[in-house]
Amino acid sequence: MNVIIISIGDELLSGNTVNTNFSWIGQKLAGLGCSIIYQVTIADDKSSICEALDKIFLMSPDLIITTGGLGPTSDDITRKTIFDYLSINEKFDDSYWEILKNRFYEMGIKIGNSNRSQAMVPNQGIVIDNPIGSARGFHIDHKKSSIIILPGVPSEMKNMINDYVVAFINKQGVEKQYTSIIRTTGLSESTIFEMTGSIFHKNSNCVMGYYPSYAGVDIRMRGKSKKLINKVHFDIKNILNEKNIYSESDKNMEQIIVDLAIEKNKKIAIAESCTGGLIGHRITQISGSSKIFEGGFIVYNDHLKEKVLGVNKLTLEKYGAVSEEAAQEMAENILKNTGSDLGLSVTGIAGPGGGSPDKPVGTVYIGVASDDSVYVVKRIFKSDRKINKLKTSQLALNELRMKIIE
Amino acid sequence: MNVIIISIGDELLSGNTVNTNFSWIGQKLAGLGCSIIYQVTIADDKSSICEALDKIFLMSPDLIITTGGLGPTSDDITRKTIFDYLSINEKFDDSYWEILKNRFYEMGIKIGNSNRSQAMVPNQGIVIDNPIGSARGFHIDHKKSSIIILPGVPSEMKNMINDYVVAFINKQGVEKQYTSIIRTTGLSESTIFEMTGSIFHKNSNCVMGYYPSYAGVDIRMRGKSKKLINKVHFDIKNILNEKNIYSESDKNMEQIIVDLAIEKNKKIAIAESCTGGLIGHRITQISGSSKIFEGGFIVYNDHLKEKVLGVNKLTLEKYGAVSEEAAQEMAENILKNTGSDLGLSVTGIAGPGGGSPDKPVGTVYIGVASDDSVYVVKRIFKSDRKINKLKTSQLALNELRMKIIE
């Protein structure tokens, strides 16, 4: 089933609102086996809407979904414009107007005359109920396509997709798609592509994509055969190193860490320098992290490394705060200071200043300590300050992950 | 200047990636006086790209910007497809290939043959440099439009817009729009609208918008008269309280804090519980924060509040770790432990668990200590864990801001 989405709203084009409706609908419908083939964002403007409809009906999608422009104010023109475009007459729905008046009354709000437009209904098609808002939706068949018109308020739109659109799509007998994901870190997109590309060439019924971000590269697979998707997943897993695969579901690194640490009953503490608290922040995004996360020190200024964390003054003088030696002592001392099972340390130069020929901007050392061992890894990142911080946090959490499962 | 944006990528259509690139470009270009008239999202697919270009060149926009599909893998087909569409020949850029090889070598990564595609350049137009990534951009004139082709990696795309596209647009002599912003925190959108709405009704040549987020409500003003925009800005500022206005530019709270602390020569340290490191992370996002940020403690587990921060055991037993008393001691002790000028503390219940009738989920206490005073504020937030953390960090930083300027 081919689907096109029309997002209507000046606030989207001006960038003042991020179009999360579109990605939500995309994920929802892709999960039902639909292909979203095209999406447009247009202004709250009659000619923009009509021109977009001209183009899109020519593409003959099975389904068109519009969001936005069904509110009560004067810039909400979607309903009237589309009905005119389709030569549909509308009438005032007295019984819905009574319902609306009651709802507003119960909320203690006086209903405005501007809301009367929301009681208009077409003389054909289906009216889609909106139990949590005043703007109802519409489902109209035109040429070879169905057009479903929904409000832009995310909670209302999602409700109507879940309650109405999902059932409509399922009734069309769309063939189910199976999906799978392998989340990797520490390898570049091109390296992964070279390692795994041949698998995809051999399995053309498996649609794949590589999605890089600071966190690493996600490999997504999709196809109609569950067996094939499982096989491709298995083949890719066999080629890549366990160290590079941190997740085989949509779970992110911090969720994986918290799950593993709970399972293995390991208490964690961290000493962060250049990441400034980001690693602690990421871990504490996860509900239940308090079971395994003790806390830590943000030793941003060197004198705190010595004063509160007890890193040897001579170490800092001889090797510097950004050094293998400092990272090792930081990891060991965070363990001692907090009585945790695992200590993670990070020291580095996020940039843009602070680099030297010896230790350029982006140089980071990660230390991992437990009762019986400690080790340090070094890496040089080449991005800007914020991305260097993110990449450093991901590398550090991945080292911690490997330590937990060792 | 009319602009159309083409977002290219299967991951956008499937909803796996939210198109924040588009909203970022929209805001940036609207601020330069451009009108974003249309945006489409299409697949990494030759015919989709060509069909979109057919339609969009018919609309004769001044500028077309594409993002995405310039990576090294086989699904990255934007460059080749657009060059073919425009009948442009390309050649291999040996000197750029040397640069790329060196960059990868310095990062300790072996460059793949697939990256060779990123060294291809057109025989016309302009190549746009990408100092932080491997995919360069292209600027080509065709019919009445300019088309600018950029990578989809947000940091790289933004860099290239800031370094190249802004200058190009400014050179076109777009009629300047004057903009102004007042960033507020601690007031709801409807409260701000009731307080300031009449100002906008009186000044119809000033386009305004209220943009709520966890950080507060931004009030944006835009118009062709600099004098009018300044007047409206001044009128709004007079109505709102200094405590609620944290920024009169695009600078965010953390930048404001760092600027103020440098100006007033105040060293800052923090003790975070429920925010888990987020406040330290936010401050250290800012270059130069090391001048004023000492670091702090993440005392997530209660025994660390006592053990490393020295909060009195009796305080924790009698009042609990989430209490005015604990917040006060945390702020005082972080000052003592680090020797800073200002100590900030946060303790609270982010949720979803941990609440009680007395202290529901979302209850937070913020402590602010200096050599001569300490005070605590309490607030109850009603969102989910992640938003509660964000709102708490914003409230805490705003209290710190007020202390710095007092």
d(CA A312, CA A331): 13
Rg for chain A, CA atoms, rounded: 28
B176-197: average pLDDT = 86
Backbone φ, ψ for residue B255 (5° rounding): -65, -40
Does residue A206 come out as left (phi exceeding 0), alpha (psi in the -120 to 50 range) or beta?
Answer: beta
Q: Enumerate residues 6+ apart whose C-beta is below 8 A from B174.
A: B1, B32, B33, B34
**Residues in chain A closer than 8 A to B109 (CB atoms):** 188, 191
d(CA B360, CA B210): 30
What are the structure tokens assigned to A374, written together? Answer: 């400690």
- pLDDT at site B193: 79
- pLDDT at site A275: 98
* B320-364 confidence digits (pLDDT tens): 999 999 999 999 999 999 999 999 999 999 999 999 999 999 999
Please answer yes or no on whether A389 and B285 come within 8 Å at the CB atom: yes
Q: Which of B12, B13, B278 to mutate to test the interface with A (most CBs of A within 10 A)?
A: B13
What are the structure tokens assigned to A272, written together? Answer: 């962060």
Q: Which of A217, A266, A300, A384 to mutate to test the interface with B (most CBs of B within 10 A)?
A: A300
User: How many helical (H) and strand (E) elements, i.e. helices and strands, does chain B have?
Assistant: 15, 17
**Residues in chain A closer than 8 A to B3 (CB atoms):** none
What are the structure tokens assigned to B249, written together? Answer: 């530019």
d(CA B340, CA B292): 9
Tokens 């587990």 identify what position?
Answer: B301
Q: What is the DSSP letter of A332?
A: H
Alpha-carbon dihedral A22, A25, A27, A31, rounded to 10 degrees:
-160
Residue in chain B lying closest to A296 (CA)? B298
- pLDDT at site A37: 94
- pLDDT at site B67: 98
d(CA B150, CA A136): 39
Which candidate, B213, B252, B261, places its Cα nearest to that of B370?
B261
The b-or-e profile of A70-88 (16+ CB within 10 A means b, else e) is bbeeeebbbbebbbebbeb
The beta-carbon neighbor of A25 closest among B15, B27, B301 is B15
B234-259: average pLDDT = 96
Query: How do the pLDDT tens digits run along chain A, 406 residues long?
Result: 999 999 999 889 988 888 999 999 998 998 888 999 999 999 989 999 999 999 999 999 999 999 999 987 777 899 999 999 999 999 999 999 999 998 888 777 778 787 899 999 999 999 999 988 889 999 999 999 999 999 998 888 999 999 999 999 999 988 878 889 999 999 988 899 889 988 988 888 998 888 888 899 999 898 889 999 999 999 999 999 999 999 999 899 999 999 999 999 999 999 999 999 999 999 999 999 999 999 999 999 999 999 999 999 999 999 999 999 999 999 999 999 999 999 999 999 999 999 999 999 999 999 999 999 999 999 999 888 999 999 999 999 999 999 999 8
User: Could you write out the three-class secondary structure of B299-350?
Assistant: CCCHHHHHHCCCCCHHHHHHHCCCCHHHHHHHHHHHHHHHCCCEEEEEEECC
Tokens 């602010």 identify what position?
Answer: B368
CATH superfamily for A253-405 is: CinA-like (3.90.950.20)
Q: Which residues pair with B181 in a beta bridge?
A: B220
Give the domain ranges of chain A. Answer: 2-171, 178-247, 253-405
Instruction: Give the β-pairing of B178-184 and B245-247.
Output: antiparallel
Q: Enumerate residues 6+ apart whose C-beta is below 8 A from B219.
A: B181, B182, B183, B184, B192, B196, B208, B209, B210, B211, B236
Please answer yes or no on whether B17 and A25 come within 8 Å at the CB atom: no
Q: What is the DSSP letter of B242?
A: T
* pLDDT value at B189 more than 80: no
Cα of B170 vs its chain's centroid, Å: 23
Please answer yes or no on whether B279 and A277 come within 8 Å at the CB atom: yes
User: CB burial class (10 A; 0-12, 13-18, 19+) of residue B191?
Assistant: middle
d(CA A269, CA A299): 13
Alpha-carbon dihedral B378, B384, B389, B391, rounded to 10 degrees:
-60
Helix (H) or strand (E) holding A104: helix A94-106
Q: Pick B191 or A93 by higher pLDDT.
A: A93
Please answer yes or no on whether A277 and B294 come within 8 Å at the CB atom: no
Decide: B178 and B227 in contact? Cβ < 8 Å.
no
Please answer yes or no on whether A220 and B108 come within 8 Å at the CB atom: no
Decide: B282 and B255 in contact? Cβ < 8 Å.
no
Q: Enumerate residues 6+ apart whose C-beta is below 8 A from B356.
A: none
Tokens 């429920």 identify what position?
Answer: B274
pLDDT band per the 50, 70, 90 thresholds, residue B260: very high
- pLDDT at site A219: 92
**Residues in chain A closer than 8 A to B392 (CB atoms):** none
Decide: B277 and B298 in contact? Cβ < 8 Å.
yes
Please answer yes or no on whether A30 and B24 come within 8 Å at the CB atom: no
ipTM of this complex prediction, to 2 decimal places? 0.83
Q: How far is CA A90 from CA A99, A127, A398, B18, B316, in A?
A: 19, 12, 59, 36, 66
The beta-carbon neighbor of A18 closest among B20, B106, B294 is B20
* pLDDT value at B112 more than 90: no
d(CA A156, CA A153): 6
pLDDT band per the 50, 70, 90 thresholds, residue B179: confident
Which candidate, B91, B88, B112, places its Cα nearest to that of B101?
B112
Decide: B9 and A211 in contact? Cβ < 8 Å.
no
d(CA B284, CA A215): 19
Same topology between domain A2-171 and domain A253-405: no
- pLDDT at site A70: 92
How is A158-204 classified by DSSP, letter by letter?
HHHIIIIIHHHHHHTTPPP-EEEEEEE-SS-HHHHHHHHHHHHHH-T
**In 10 A of CB B15, how many CB atoms?**
22
- pLDDT at site B170: 92
Backbone φ, ψ for residue B242 (5° rounding): -55, -35
User: CB burial class (10 A; 0-12, 13-18, 19+) of residue B102?
Assistant: exposed
**Residues in chain B closer than 8 A to A283 (CB atoms):** 276
- How many inter-chain contacts (A to B, CB under 8 Å) are there? 284
- pLDDT at site A103: 84
**Residues in chain A closer than 8 A to B20 (CB atoms):** 18
pTM attached to this predicted model: 0.83
User: CB burial class (10 A; 0-12, 13-18, 19+) of residue A187?
Assistant: buried
Does residue B226 come out as left (phi exceeding 0), alpha (psi in the -120 to 50 range) or beta?
Answer: alpha
Tell which CATH architecture fits domain B178-247.
2-Layer Sandwich (3.30)
Please answer yes or no on whether A41 and B40 come within 8 Å at the CB atom: yes
Q: What is the DSSP letter of A19?
A: -
Decide: A254 and A285 in contact? Cβ < 8 Å.
yes
* Fold assignment, B2-171: Molybdenum Cofactor Biosythetic Enzyme; Chain A (3.40.980)
Rg for chain B, CA atoms, rounded: 26
Decide: B72 and B157 in contact? Cβ < 8 Å.
no
The beta-carbon neighbor of B304 closest among A12, A276, A294 is A294
Please answer yes or no on whether B274 and A284 come within 8 Å at the CB atom: yes
Lowest mean pLDDT: which of A357-366, B28-37, B139-148, B259-268?
A: B28-37
Decide: A342 and A360 in contact? Cβ < 8 Å.
no
Residue in chain A lying closest to B107 (CA)? A380
Backbone φ, ψ for residue B303 (5° rounding): -65, -25
Tokens 């099972």 identify what position?
Answer: A341
Q: Which amino acid is at A17?
A: T
Tokens 């507020």 identify what position?
Answer: B184
Tokens 């004063």 identify what position?
Answer: A307
Q: Pick A200 or B235 by higher pLDDT.
A: B235
- pLDDT at site B106: 82
pLDDT band per the 50, 70, 90 thresholds, residue B123: very high
**Residues in chain A closer than 8 A to B396 (CB atoms):** none
**Residues in chain A closer than 8 A to B43 (CB atoms):** 37
Tokens 């993110």 identify what position?
Answer: A390
For residue B110, give the 3-state DSSP assignment. Answer: coil
* pLDDT value at B370 more than 90: yes
* pLDDT value at B128 more than 90: yes
Tokens 């835009």 identify what position?
Answer: B222
Q: What is the DSSP letter of A79?
A: H
Q: How far is CA A123 from CA A63, A93, A126, A135, A144, in A?
A: 20, 11, 9, 17, 19
Q: Pick B213 or B225 by higher pLDDT.
A: B225
Decide: B115 and A388 in contact? Cβ < 8 Å.
no
Cα of B81 vs its chain's centroid, Å: 32
Q: Enumerate residues 6+ apart whose C-beta is below 8 A from B154.
A: B20, B21, B24
**Residues in chain B closer than 8 A to A16 (CB atoms):** 23, 26-27, 209, 211, 220
- pLDDT at site A11: 85
* pLDDT value at B190 more than 80: no
Which candidate, B105, B110, B107, B101, places its Cα nearest to that of A380?
B107
Tokens 């025994």 identify what position?
Answer: B303
